[in-house]
Structure 1
Amino acid sequence: MCVRDGCGRPRNRLGAVLEVRKPADRPEADADSRPLPPEGAVTATIRDVARRAGVSPITASRAFSGTHPVAQETRRRVFAAAEELGYVPDLLARGLVHRRSPMIGMVVLELANPFVSPIIDGAQAVAFERGHLLVVSQSLRQRETEEASLSRFRQMRVAGVLVAPVSPDLRHLEELREQGVPVVAFSRQWANGDYVTVDDREGGRIAGEHLVSLGHREIGFVALGEPGNTAVEARLEGLLEALERGGAVCRPEWRLFTQRQTPEEGVAAAEAFVRLAHRPTAMFVTADRVAIGFVHQLRTLGLRVPEDVAVVGYDDIHYSQFLEVPLTTVALPKYELGRQAAEILFRRIGAAQPGGAPQQVLLPPRLVVRRSCGAGVDGG
């Protein structure tokens, strides 16, 4: 409640005269001359952070957005200043302004597969560095689930999507890209789009060359029997190329296919192997999880690895080196795969204009020799 005195000046309820200033009379503080707020204060602004870090407000904003190139040292100073001042950027508000949320969607085949975890780690490291949250979904190798995840990510207005496609039909990715969502495929090639994957043909070739170098001339093959799986096809092509050059063979009846990539499927493959009328002396099993079950069941059935059957796996998942018979395997740069895919995605997100030539990367595999191949080497 406010009353007025005899001069018309307003008084409060206790009778004290209230001084009223017109808006024009209020001193305007220079934003750059204001003292910095105390550390931990909730009133810190992006301008305060910029001054503390010694950069412009635009540079500070870009350091948080991750959509423009900012030097690593500059980004570190900005983040350190923000932490000192207790500044927390409103990422959701920023997403509303730019019509994109500060999130990256990622669709993997199976979270339970230990091959996938390092890929996620690599992508997450880049996303965090760019101030984005990585949101992961799994397709469980179902095309419908993959498409549903991508649709949900679009509804969330994610800044971009990383996806390990279930099938070679990638028209849905092209449609998503045409709708303005940057998309990068990984673990599968995409003729008209950005992708990062492993040179699987080279992986099959080095596995075959190694077994031939150990004297094997009859070599079998175990792989996922998934129609249109170009990675499996490439591994077999590389294997056959190496065997042909080395005078070895892989007969059709020695090529065993599984329904899933699990140790249980490896057990079933081993049981099929022992029923062969004539068995090869070595097997290339194109997934370590399957190879683990395969080796276990061979030993259960009385066959020695590598004395009776040499085995080479694929992936180099972490625990393959700790088995009773450590697994020789083709190692894939899983962390690097995720990291490079995310780097390409952020370049697309930050591009002034969409389009341009696809960015396509094939990463080289390498052979890790352990005891299961019979080479007499047990390396990590």
Structure 2
Amino acid sequence: MRKRVKLEDIAKVVGISKMAVSLALRDHPSISEKTTKKVKKVAEELGYVPNRLAQSLVKGKSNTLAMLMSGPLHDDYQNQILRGAIPYAMRRGYTIFVGPMAQPQLESMYIEKYKNMMVDGFLGFHSITDNRINSENYQKLKDEGIPFVLYTKYFPDMETDYVVCNDFLGGYMMTKHLIELGHKEIGFVYGDLLFHSSEVQERIRGFQCAMEEHGIPYNSESYIPFHLHFHTKTTEDILTVNETFTKQLTSEKRPTALFVCNDIAASSVYIALKKLGLSIPEDISIGGYEGVYLGSIIDPPLTTIATPIEEIGEQACKILIDKIEGIIPSSTFVKVKLDPKLQVRNSTAPPKLIT
């Protein structure tokens, strides 16, 4: 293994002190231009690599960020977030560490690990534990004065910076689309682990607003929990573990349309409906949310609410760096909601007339 080149090694070749080498590498005016050039030339020839950790200890700043991603990385949503965040961070001189959290308990472990690595701030897609929103890890960061920006979802009970989609508007738009097709029996299907998240709650509010605006009644049975297929051992179990869904979709008054809380959940719903012998959209229309790649390739292609995912990643990163660099005061909380668009494909159609 090659030995790391140190300042002492450069100093020995040039014939000056270690301190003078350090100053020359930083273009300090106390070191002559001739000596500075010589030091840099020798450093390059020896293969000197600066110790960024040591530099960050001196500066109190590492120019690194940590991105915390809760949940399974089962689609390209987080990939699109990264496509928005990473190039922007690089343009501002920062790099991003990515911490995927397959288990909620990893969140606090990642935070402590990255704090020890002296990251300057966090981008957070917070975890959900036992179907409960837990803000403790982020409250601790806030108490310690460590900047963070939440993306996609936020804590309703905490003042924080966040960048999310306007999920109320998206929920309203999808429900209105289904109503305008002629549907009156519309169910809202939610991933059973996400019900209390801000994103799903806002989509539900949009759903309710559109239903009320058009004078269409809804009740507790309008909200249908769903256990996604990648949480089951095989897709054969999907009807067994979704007893409520199966019961409502096989009843005489089953919905003619389902608004599913996100595209990944919609892909699982497709599997369940086909096992029940229902055709999409002939027997039942399906609308999704987010606009990830999967929705465009399942059969039939999914009508969805396309969210500006890359823009969410970029704007969250911008706000975080602006907070770190003092461009935005720490006492100011920036709350951004970006508008989505309705993307109509082949999974929605007018309800079938029963004769």
Which residue of the other structure, out of 150, 160, 177, is the alignment partner of 1:193?
160
TM-aligned CA distance change 1:29 to 1:363, over 3 Å = closer
Q: CA shift at 1:325, angstroms? A: 0.4
Q: 2:295 — aligned with what? A: 320
State the partner residue of 2:115. Answer: 154
Deviation at 1:158, TM superposition (A): 0.5
Are 2:349 and 1:374 aligned?
A: yes
Which fold has the larger relative contact order, with Cα–Cα distance below 8 Å and residues 6 or more apart in sequence?
2
Count of matched residue pairs: 306
One-letter amino acid matched to 1:120:
L
Inter-partner Cα distance in structure 1 for 2:231 and 2:348: 19
CA 41–215 in structure 1, closer or farther in 2 if over 3 Å, else same: farther
| Structure 2 counterpart of 1:254, one-letter code | S
Shift of 1:263: 8.3
Superposed, 1:284-295 pairs within 5 Å as: 284-295=259-270
AA aligned opposite 1:339: E
CA contact (8 A) 2:189 2:226 kept: yes
- The superposition leaves residues 127-159 of structure 1 with CA deviations (integer Å, 9 ceiling, x where unpaired) of 2222222111123362x3212211111111101
Contact 1:254–1:279 (8 Å) recurs in 2: no
Matched, 1:121 2:72: no
Give the 5 Å matches for 1:1-380. 30-31=32-33, 43=43, 91-114=52-75, 115-140=77-102, 142=104, 144-167=105-128, 168-190=133-155, 191-226=158-193, 228-260=196-228, 262=230, 267-268=238-239, 269=242, 271-351=246-326, 355-374=330-349
Moved more, 278-287 or 289-298: 289-298
| The 10-residue stretch of structure 1 (160-169 or 328-337) with the greater mean CA deviation from structure 2 | 160-169
Q: Output the CA distance in 1 between the equivalents of 2:141 and 2:107.
A: 13
Cα shift readout 1:334-367 (whole Å, capped 9, x = no counterpart): 1111111110010011117952210111111111
Please tell me whether Structure 1 or Structure 2 has the larger radius of gyration of its CA atoms: 1
Q: 1:245 to 1:116 in 2, by over 3 A?
A: same
Calculate the aligned-residue CA RMSD, in Å.
3.1
Closer/same/farther in 2, CA of residues 93 and 223 from structure 1, 3 Å limit = same
Q: Provide the rounded CA distance (Å) in 1 between the counterparts of 2:325 and 2:213.
A: 47
Distance 1:316 1:238 in 2: 18
Deviation at 1:319, TM superposition (A): 2.3
Q: Output the CA distance in 2 between the equivalents of 1:128 and 1:267.
A: 43
Contact 1:198 1:364 in 2 (8 A): yes
**For the structure 1 residues 308 and 244, does the alpha-carbon distance in structure 2 shift closer, same or farther, using more than 3 Å as the test?**
same
Could you list the runs of 5+ residues in structure 1 that have no partner in the other structure? 1-27, 45-85, 376-380
SS at 2:330's partner residue?
Answer: coil
- Go from structure 1 to structure 2 and tell me whether the alpha carbon gap of 1:343 and 1:111 turns closer, same or farther (over 3 Å shift): farther
Any stretches of 5+ residues in structure 2 without a counterpart? 1-29, 351-355
TM (norm. structure 1) is 0.72
- SS of residue matched to 2:347: helix
* Cα displacement (A) at 1:233: 1.5
Give, as a single letter, the amino acid of the residue that structure 2 aligns with 1:288. D
